[in-house]
Amino acid sequence: MTDKPCIVLITVPEKDAIFLARKLIESKVAACVNICRNVKSIYVWKGEVVEDSEDLLIVKSFTSLKDKLKALVMKNHPYDTPEIIFLNVEDVEARYLNWMREVLTT
């Protein structure tokens, strides 16, 4: 796999974080998911300022898996409009990158 690695940021209600993280791993669209607990989110929704406590998933993946990853999140996320932000990664330590490739291609 000569694909580019990426980081995906996904916010999710705490009750759904482990389920969604495991789904991403089991579906082989993510090599690793970190769950950052109790992130305070402030945003505008339907014209109102909203404050929520959510969990932040930091997902390590490859750009070639973007469409499959998005579809999986859209199917399994409780929000109608989930946050799914892809960040291109400039450089990854070689052994970690090899591990990611191994995990997502076997």
The domain ranges of the chain are 5-105
Q: What is the pTM of this model?
A: 0.94
Q: Domain spanning 5-105: which CATH class is it, in words?
A: alpha beta
User: Alpha helix locations (H) across the chain?
Assistant: 14-26, 66-76, 94-105
Q: Mean pLDDT across the stretch 9-29?
A: 98
pLDDT recorded at residue 1: 44
Better-scored residue on pLDDT, 48 or 2 = 48
pLDDT recorded at residue 68: 97
62-95 pLDDT per residue, tens: 999 999 999 999 999 999 999 999 999 999 999 9
Q: What's the pLDDT band for 2 if we cut at 50, 70, 90?
A: low
Q: What is the mean pLDDT of the chain?
A: 96
Q: Give exposure, 24-47, as e/b (b: 16+ Cβ within 10 Å).
A: bbeeebbbebeeeeeeeeeeeeee
Q: How far apart are CA 26 and CA 60, in angstroms?
A: 13
